[in-house]
Structure 1
Amino acid sequence: MPAKLTVLTSTTPKILSKQFRLGPEGELAKTTSANMVKGTAKVIEVAGLEEFANVLSSLTTDQALTYGVPPARSCSIMSKDEFEKAGRPAGTYTRAKAFFQWPGGPGVMMADYDPTGPEALSRGELVKLVREAIPGLADAELLWWPSSS
């Protein structure tokens, strides 16, 4: 049974991911634009980690994933403010708990590790701690992927 997840594609703004560039002094400068105002949502299914990795590899700068699913397999998405201003249009949803639900069956759990301080856990150390804290994940397959958020 495949896992369901949702690909969000933003039309406003056109870029959802971080952007990196060199500043005037040659320093690395980062710009974040992660607030989708308008766009679309499309529910997809992946049959395993290889298919999921292919999805991650294919995402563009105007796309993001969410692991809940909206009521329709394909729909328009707006920010809460835009949704209200537009008069709550039919067939359009917000990225709110009221509209996105966890699907039954297999799913994807995303975890982000942003260590503070000079010492970071190794991949093996982090996985060991997570599996000890959540025994149900002892035999779960894992995919290690860099985050863009």
Structure 2
Amino acid sequence: MNHKHTISVLVNNQPGVLQRVSGLFGRRGFNIESISVGEAEEQGLSRMVIVTTGDAKTLEQVSKQLYKLIDVIKVIDLSSNPMVARELALIKVNADPSLRPEIFGLVETFRASVVDISPSSLIIQVVGDAIKIEAMAELLKPYGIRELSRTGVTAMVRGIVK
């Protein structure tokens, strides 16, 4: 049975590593639903957090293939442990001044924030899991979403990993 998996891949921070990792997924027919990359806690390393879908056998195959790439140091299936996962979205909506109090009410309810105000629009920042972001976007649709940008998931296992 297919499940969503969140994988953390610790890699050397070198040109071409992202392309090699994403290419591995593509060549094997695995879809990447989300990928975020940034510097890790140790200088010279980056952490990729990849969300993909597949069964346990598929995940094991992906992990083995990742370890064959020279710049991959560690692969962890975060979703097999209790984890904290977050995503950030910026949502630009139409916002006539008369509708702003309603929109500000939604923003407050979702513990989001307005990060830009222009004469005819607002940019709202929302941080949370995918369900929260999708719910916020759905409630903002009636106002007219002009643009939506999401970071992709970043995650960590809760507590101390051995």
What is the TM-score with the length of structure 2 in the denominator? 0.26
| Bigger radius of gyration among the two | 2
Q: Which has a greater percent of helix? A: 2
Q: Which has a greater percent of strand? A: 2
What is the TM-score with the length of structure 1 in the denominator? 0.28
